[in-house]
Amino acid sequence: MEEIKIPALDQELAAKVRAVFNAMPKAGANLGKLEDMAVQYAAMTGKALPQQIKTATILMCGDHGIAKYGVSAFPQEVTKQMMVGYYRGTAGATVLARHAKADVFVCDMGTAFDQSELPNVRQMKVAWGTNDFTQGPAMSLEQAELALHRGMEIADECIDKGYNLLVTAEMGIANTTSTAAIASAFLGLEPQLTVGRGSGINDARMKIKRQVVTDGLAKNKPILGDGLDILQKVGGYDHAGLAGMIIAGAKRRVPTMVDGVNATAAALIAYGIYPECKNYMLCSHLSSDISHKKMLELLELTPIVDAGMRLGEGTGAALAIPVLQMAMDLYNKLGKVK
């Protein structure tokens, strides 16, 4: 990856926003996370808090070669079925996004299916799914870097259109298995501490899933904490696209709301490549998947909501975006009271 400069947070502006909150009648620090989010957002953007958040939910889709082992409760064809639901607007993620006033951009980063006939789906396919990482790297270094750049490309396009908040979303059967491998490789944890039930698998599939992650780590020996190396060896194209969008957002001072366990694994990848990226991340919710809390602790991210969700696809962000908007409203309206 080429050298990219991530700007420092605007601490001076953050202090000014904090002072406005402190001057509010009977408010101040009593607002807790609401105040903190507004202050964080100001520090990230370096601009006056907007009246309205304009959200781009970027939904990266990719298939995983290890799906063939039955690590998910669903067959790989469900990736394609879900993408049909996204472009029609009938999937749960798109329904919730409408309530949050978020625009959804669906990207085929590397599914195993020809999705070219689907309208409103960005064709950014790097490969027809990843390789089976129990037999070798999930992708080549060139493919990993291309996927990262394509994620940056779509993020830049959204920012150019005036979006001031990026939201991570993803779809790909077996991606929680890759996520567990990324978490283990990044945090140095055994699969027993990172492999969760994902789509709601039973004990038999859970045993297979742990073994797949164990075998993949043993075969590839990813370098602890090395984002690009881990991505190439055990990641997915959905992870790569999301990591790229996070990097592009940080470069241009646009916050990314990280949503769910898979997106947090992508955030680890971005952090491993450019550590300063973590300064431009918000966390929408706490997933019930076992590795999520551990990853968030490393990134020093605090979830806005905890609703026991594990769906991903940007669904948790639909709950968190209105909370962030409320924080903006408090500042822009109550902050003017003399």
Question: What secondary structure does DSSP assign to 53-114, as a single string?
Answer: --EEEEEEEE--GGGGG--SSS-THHHHHHHHHHHHT-SHHHHHHHHTTEEEEEEEEE-SS-
Confirm if 272 and 227 have CB atoms less than 8 A apart.
yes
Name the active-site residue from 35, 145, 170, 313: 313
From 275, 309, 281, 322, select the one nearest 167 (Cα to Cα): 281
The DSSP letter of residue 52 is S
Say how far apart CA 143 and CA 43 lie, in whole Å. Answer: 34
Annotated active-site residue 2? The verdict is no
CA torsion angle 166 77 174 232 (round to 10): -70
* 306 vs 281: CA distance, rounded Å: 17
Partnered with residue 34 across adjacent β-strands are none
Six-digit token string for 68: 């063939």
Rounded Cα distance, 243 and 168, in Å = 9
Helix/strand/coil for 304: strand
Burial-class residue 119 by CB neighbours within 10 Å (0-12, 13-18, 19+). exposed
List the catalytic residues.
Answer: 313
